[in-house]
Chain A
Amino acid sequence: MSVTIEKSGPFGHAPSSVSKTMITVLVALLPATLFNVWLFGWPALFMFLITVGACLGFEAICLAWQNRPVKATLFDGSAALTGWLLAMSLPPWTPWWIGVLGALLAIVLAKHIYGGLGQNVFNPAMVGRVGLLVSFPVQMTAFVPPKPLFSEGAPGFIDSLGMVFGGFKNMDAISAASALGHVKTELTKGVPVTESLPQVFDLTNMITGMHIGSFGETSAILILLGGLFLMVRGVISWHTPVGLMGTLFVCASIANFFAPERFPGGVFHLFAGATFLGAFFIATDYVTSPVSKMGQLAYGMGCGFLIWIIRSFAGYPEGVAFAVLLMNALTPVIDHHIRPRAFGRTSKGEPLSVRGDSK
Chain B
Amino acid sequence: MKLFSIRGGIHPDYRKERTSEKAIVSFPLPATLYIPLQQHIGAPAEVVVKEGDQVKKGQMLAKGQGAVSAPQHAPTSGRIAAIAEITAPHPSGLPQLTVVLESDGKDEWVGDLPQPIADPFAASPDEIRARVAWAGIVGMGGAAFPTPVKLNLGTQLKIHTLLLNGAECEPYLTCDDRLMREHAAEIIDGARIMAHTLGAGRVVIAIEDNKPEAKKIMTEAASGHAGVEVIGVPVQYPMGSERHLTQAITGLETPARKLTADLGVVVQNVATARAVHHAVRHGRPLIGRVVTVSGGALPEPKNIDVLIGTKLSDLVAFCGGLTKPAKRFVNGGPMMGQPLPGLDVPVVKGMSGILALTAEEVNERPASPCIRCGTCVTICPCGLVPVEMAAVIRKDHLDQAAHLGVMDCVSCGSCSYICPSHIPLVHYFNFAKGMLNAQDREKRRLDRVKNLAEARNARLEKAAAAKKAAAAAAAAAKAKAAAEAEAASPPPADNRPGA
User: Interface on A for B, CB 8 Å cutoff?
Assistant: 1-5, 7-18, 20-21, 73, 76, 78, 116-119, 237, 286-287, 289-293, 296, 335, 339-345, 349, 351-356, 359
Q: Does B66 contact A (CB under 8 A)?
A: no
Q: How far is the CB of A104 from chain B (nearest CB, A)?
A: 22
New A-B contacts (14) at CB < 8 Å, excluding given A3-B342, A7-B427, A344-B408: A2-B341, A5-B341, A9-B339, A9-B416, A12-B361, A16-B418, A340-B377, A342-B384, A343-B7, A343-B381, A345-B383, A352-B256, A354-B255, A354-B262
| Residue numbers in A under 8 Å from B342 (CB-CB) | 1-3
Q: Does B322 contact A (CB under 8 A)?
A: yes
Contact of B357 among A11, A18, A356 (CB under 8 A): A11
Q: How many residues of B contact A (CB 8 A)?
A: 74
The 0/1 profile, CB within 8 Å of A marked 1, for residues 249-274 of chain B is: 00011111110001110000000000
CB pair A8–B258 under 8 Å, yes or no, is no
CB pair A292–B258 under 8 Å, yes or no, is no
Q: How far is the CB of B369 from chain A (nearest CB, A)?
A: 4
Bound together, the chains give a CA A21 to CA B13 distance in angstroms of 19
| Residue numbers in B under 8 Å from A20 (CB-CB) | 420
Q: How far is the CB of A359 from chain B (nearest CB, A)?
A: 5
CB pair A352–B253 under 8 Å, yes or no, is yes
Q: Does B192 contact A (CB under 8 A)?
A: no
> Which of B43-51, B275-283, B325-333, B474-482 binds A?
B325-333
User: Interface on B for A, CB 8 Å cutoff?
Assistant: 7, 10, 12-13, 91, 158, 171, 243-244, 252-258, 262-264, 322, 326-330, 334-339, 341-343, 355, 357, 361-365, 368-375, 377-378, 380-385, 387-388, 405, 408, 411, 413, 416-422, 424, 426-427, 430
Q: How far is the CB of A7 from chain B (nearest CB, A)?
A: 4
Bound together, the chains give a CA A70 to CA B264 distance in angstroms of 58
| Residue numbers in B under 8 Å from A359 (CB-CB) | 158, 264
CB pair A342–B408 under 8 Å, yes or no, is yes
| Residue numbers in A under 8 Å from B424 (CB-CB) | 7-8
CB pair B374–A9 under 8 Å, yes or no, is no
Given A3-B328, A4-B341, A11-B339, residue A343 in contact with residue B334 (CB < 8 A): no
| Residue numbers in B under 8 Å from A287 (CB-CB) | 371-372
| Residue numbers in B under 8 Å from A286 (CB-CB) | 371-374
Bound together, the chains give a CA A341 to CA B10 distance in angstroms of 19
CB pair A349–B405 under 8 Å, yes or no, is yes
Bound together, the chains give a CA A2 to CA B382 distance in angstroms of 35
| Residue numbers in B under 8 Å from A355 (CB-CB) | 252, 263
Q: How far is the CB of B198 from chain A (nearest CB, A)?
A: 14
Bound together, the chains give a CA A355 to CA B254 distance in angstroms of 9
CB pair B254–A344 under 8 Å, yes or no, is yes
Q: Which secondary structure dominates where chain B touches chain A?
A: loop
CB pair B371–A11 under 8 Å, yes or no, is no
CB pair B263–A354 under 8 Å, yes or no, is yes
Bound together, the chains give a CA A76 to CA B365 distance in angstroms of 14
Contact of A3 among B329, B368, B369, B370 (CB under 8 A): B329
CB pair A10–B263 under 8 Å, yes or no, is no
Bound together, the chains give a CA A289 to CA B422 distance in angstroms of 20
Bound together, the chains give a CA A187 to CA B149 distance in angstroms of 79
CB pair B361–A118 under 8 Å, yes or no, is no
Contact of B377 among A5, A14, A292, A349 (CB under 8 A): A292
Given A8-B426, A17-B422, A76-B368, residue A341 in contact with residue B417 (CB < 8 A): no
| Residue numbers in A under 8 Å from B262 (CB-CB) | 354
Bound together, the chains give a CA A356 to CA B388 distance in angstroms of 34
23 pairs, CB–CB < 8 Å, chain A vs chain B: A1-B326, A3-B327, A8-B339, A8-B427, A9-B334, A9-B337, A11-B328, A13-B362, A13-B365, A13-B416, A15-B363, A16-B375, A16-B419, A17-B421, A21-B371, A21-B373, A118-B369, A291-B373, A293-B378, A341-B383, A343-B253, A344-B243, A354-B258
Given A1-B326, A3-B342, residue A343 in contact with residue B171 (CB < 8 A): no
Given A1-B343, A14-B10, A343-B7, residue A8 in contact with residue B369 (CB < 8 A): no
| Residue numbers in A under 8 Å from B380 (CB-CB) | 340
Q: Among A119, A342, A351, A353, find the residue whose CB has the most chain B CB atoms closer than 10 A.
A: A342
Q: Among B12, B158, B339, find the residue whose CB has the most chain A CB atoms closer than 10 A.
A: B339
CB pair B322–A342 under 8 Å, yes or no, is no
Q: Which residue of B lies closest to A4 (CB)?
A: B341
Bound together, the chains give a CA A36 to CA B13 distance in angstroms of 40
Bound together, the chains give a CA A151 to CA B337 distance in angstroms of 65
Q: How far is the CB of B245 from chain A (nearest CB, A)?
A: 13
